[in-house]
Chains A and B, each alone.
Chain A
């Protein structure tokens, strides 16, 4: 233990960069395996875009767990709700979506995404008050309640919109790819990457540069202490929960545009995927969630290209491998 002089900067925690290197190493390792550089670049871009979308959906879940020890099995419902709400805006304005101007397209897409986020966020408020508050602190009941909530939400979507798959075409200006030499990168993937990166940076800035973020991080680490200092962590939690739900809604819109279709069952498939991401990243860690999302997307894309048969179980294998290396995920932030 060294003594610190008054003017010395506070000792910084050691940065743990091994997890950051993991996706980079994985990507580099794939170059010789895939063979052609152009398909490698396309696949890498695809995995980054997919990873960003998964990250947007999963970020709320990991924070909610980290902050309040609440395991929300109904998180997927917000994704589906977001996608369905976007169709409410996109369907009447189908003509402007097909107009060949980026600005007209975005003028319709942006309100659709905002409305989805607002509705998902509001739904988050209801879910938190009605389903999670009564069973606060009881894991088993939380899982049961939120699973019930997922069923009800999914079935309500079926009842309101019908069981058929709703097409959700990409705007005209986002179709096609940027061609650089012999590398083709889909335009929409670039947009998805940009949005995902923006969300990641925004979350990091809020968490690391504001008082609110300081309280959230402190709450993740030690809830009782923050409460003892007089902050109303319940309200903080509600805010995080609603933000997480809204982000899931945004992710739902992006995912629906990516697949160009909407269906209530999308919540089931994505729930499994985001659970894997959250486990890999370490519950409660935004950075881990980000890396986990990219890893899952990389394994899905590279795996799908190299050994299509293995793609089914590749995510499970990835999870097993990571948990063997770090039993509590890439970054273990909570003491739980």
Chain B
């Protein structure tokens, strides 16, 4: 229980689900052959951590930020630019980390101090404006960021797929640099999620929930709400930037589509809401469901669209086209906010009967 900070899943089905997901992720390189399965698993790990950090903001403090992908992008770009400019060595990785993380934290501090001070309602709008400005900036400064093409780079020797660490004839499996990278991503993501679990169950996390429920009252009790909110914002930004670093290391690439675009922001929102706001565990469930659906449902939509157009149905082929995948996502999003405001985790914990504590204002 120590490792879960005294906040266990509190539902047998949920525990089982989490154990299955984590074991499946951990065993992916050996259970599911092929590059796609490994990519999906790595993406689930990265997004679970990213979504958990967003949950700290949305679920625990009740503030909607649209700048979370910006921090994610800062992490991605920091490591990509460092490795691109300095060559594939560990010094470059370290440079990326020591520039990316403080930059993200400082920016979060600035946004927090500025927008959380004036009025809480401005926060969502201001983060949206800042994030969109940052996105334009990243695509304009092409000498630094590679513009729309982004930056591809090489990893240090140890993490390359060609590096064989344990040869095949020892266990029947080959462990190469790619698999080592996967476990690096897996382990760091898991550590970050556990750390976030620790944060939300600390006295600091309790104050955040108090602010979510009634900011005025929390302030009257003597808590400096702006300090707490800004601190939470910086913590979330740090984790998001770290997730961005992991993502860039895994993809060996950072570009606007994979690390900055607004659609990633929507994906994160959706994962938090589906998984369950204010639970941290919801991040793991939400990311798993969403990314599995994204990778395997889209091809299903293509088949359905083809069938509909062959059957001569009007409109349906257009609506079912794989590119329109966001349309169904949006509908799903509205439906889940409306019908399952507490998400999968809330449902499993409370059986859908009682109103869960995570319900927000």
Interface, chain A (partner B; CB < 8 A): 71, 73, 131, 134-135, 138-141, 143-145, 147-152, 154-156, 158-160, 163, 268-269, 271-272, 275-276, 278-279, 283, 312-313, 315-316, 319-320, 323, 327-328, 336
Contact = CB atoms under 8 A, between A and B. Distances in A.
Given A159-B318, A279-B126, A147 B360 contact: no
A140 B128 contact: no
A275 B125 contact: yes
Given A144-B333, A276-B125, 17 more contacts: A140-B360, A141-B337, A144-B64, A144-B273, A144-B337, A148-B331, A148-B333, A149-B334, A151-B330, A152-B331, A158-B324, A159-B315, A163-B323, A272-B129, A275-B128, A279-B125, A336-B121
A275 B330 contact: no
B17 interface: no
A151 B329 contact: yes
A160 B338 CA distance: 26
A316 B62 CA distance: 24
Contact of A152 (B121, B269, B323, B327): B327
Interface stretch (B28-36, B131-139, B238-246): B131-139
A272 B262 CA distance: 12
Contacts of A269: 132
A140 B62 contact: yes
B361 A144 contact: no
Nearest to B62: A140
B121 A160 contact: no
Contacts of A147: 266, 269, 333
19 contacts: A71-B121, A73-B124, A134-B338, A138-B360, A139-B121, A144-B337, A148-B331, A149-B334, A151-B326, A158-B323, A271-B128, A276-B125, A276-B129, A278-B125, A283-B121, A313-B133, A313-B137, A328-B118, A336-B121
Given A134-B338, A279-B122, A140 B327 contact: no
B337 A135 contact: yes
Contacts of B118: 323, 327-328
B198 interface: no
Given A158-B324, A279-B126, A328-B118, A138 B361 contact: yes
Contacts of B341: 141
Contacts of A278: 125
B264 interface: no
Nearest to B110: A320
Contact of B326 (A139, A155, A279): A155
A160 B318 contact: yes
A312 B141 CA distance: 11
Contacts of B330: 148-152, 155
Q: Which 10 A-B pairs have the closest CB atoms?
A: A151-B330, A155-B327, A152-B330, A148-B334, A148-B333, A275-B125, A327-B118, A159-B318, A140-B360, A272-B132
A156 B122 CA distance: 29
Contact of B129 (A71, A138, A140, A319): A319
A154 B266 CA distance: 13
B228 interface: no
Nearest to B277: A140
B327 A312 contact: no
Contacts of A155: 324, 326-327, 330
Interface of B: 58, 62, 64, 114, 117-119, 121-122, 124-126, 128-130, 132-133, 136-137, 140, 262, 266, 269, 273, 315, 318-319, 321, 323-324, 326-327, 329-331, 333-334, 337-338, 341, 360-361
A143 B273 CA distance: 12
Given A144-B337, A152-B331, A159 B319 contact: yes
B65 to A, nearest CB: 11
Nearest to A138: B361
Contacts of A71: 121, 124-125
Given A151-B333, A323-B118, A275 B137 contact: no
Nearest to A265: B262
B327 A145 contact: no
**Highest count of chain B CB atoms <10 Å: which of A141, A150, A269, A271:** A141
B270 to A, nearest CB: 9
Contacts of B137: 312-313
A118 B315 CA distance: 24
Contacts of A313: 133, 137
A319 B361 CA distance: 27
A143 B318 contact: no
B128 A272 contact: yes
Given A152-B331, A276-B129, A159 B321 contact: yes
